[in-house]
Amino acid sequence: MPTIIKLADGLADARINKQWLDRRDMADLFASFNLTQAYRIQHAVTAKRQATGDKLAGYKISMTSPETQAIFEAHEPLYGQLTASQVHECGSAENFVLELGQMNAPLLELELVFIAQADLLASDTPETLCEKCTVAPCLEIPDSRYADWFPNLSLMQVCVDGAVGGKIVLGEAVEADYEGVREVVGQLSHNGKMLHKASADTVLGHPAIALKWLVDKLDAQSLHIRAGMKVSTGSFGLPVPLETGNYVGEFTNFGQIRMTVR
């Protein structure tokens, strides 16, 4: 228990004070952890944030492709808890502004976010999960409380750090059926230059399959996705470094998100 408290305090303080941790500290201890222990620390960090009024808003899913699982030697996806201060919603005509100096070493990814309109259950199929959610385009900004983190963290360090949750920026949510979600193609540009183009089916074959994985994983831990919670379901491809400038994420049939990084 003292180790859990110490690690949770360090991660929570790093987020508040923006004094990033050395990933080499306690590396031997992390090497002895299993995922059950790592998730326990992650939840302790979230509890500390909730104690300051930062409400649990949902979850993010990481490592949904063979490439990202290979980087961190993972055999399944990983989830992180998201609090309200990490979630930013904007319409397709709005421009989200982010101060780069407030982050550590952020990356950028194209994703879809499922917003639960009812409680999500282990008995739900991927198809029924789509029926119970609206879906929004998303720019996810992974970031860590550890310096020099990508791709150098261990799997356990990624887990305790909320699956390196930074921020998610959501566009307008719409109703979408299972096939409609599968057909989404996302394109990311920076200062007018295209950086990345990929389809939603790179996420475990379908983002709703990733969501089903999370629902089942949480159920096994006696946790649940309640109505109103948001789930970022995984990147369409490998992340790119976040830099200053103007970004546009475009999603077929789902609109676009504009973001300026200063």
CB within 8 Å of 69: residues ≥ 6 apart? 63, 75, 76, 77
* Per-residue pLDDT, 168: 98
* Per-residue pLDDT, 149: 95
* Per-residue pLDDT, 69: 87
Q: Phi/psi zone of residue 10: left (φ > 0), alpha (ψ -120 to 50 degrees), beta?
A: alpha
- From first to last of its 262 residues, the chain has per-residue pLDDT tens of 557 788 889 999 998 889 999 998 888 888 888 999 999 999 999 999 999 999 999 999 999 988 888 888 889 999 999 999 999 998 767 899 999 999 999 999 999 999 999 999 999 999 999 999 999 999 999 999 999 999 999 999 999 999 999 999 999 999 999 999 999 999 999 999 999 999 999 999 999 999 999 999 999 999 999 999 999 999 998 899 999 999 999 999 999 999 999 9
Contact predicate 27/145, CB 8 Å: no
* Per-residue pLDDT, 4: 78
* Per-residue pLDDT, 1: 53
- Bridge partners of residue 174, in order along the sequence: 135
* Per-residue pLDDT, 97: 96
pTM of the model: 0.95
Q: Given 3.90.850.10, 3.40.50.1370, 3.90.79.10, 3.40.50.2300, which CATH number is that of 2-261? A: 3.90.850.10
* Per-residue pLDDT, 3: 77
The 8-class DSSP code of residue 124 comes to -
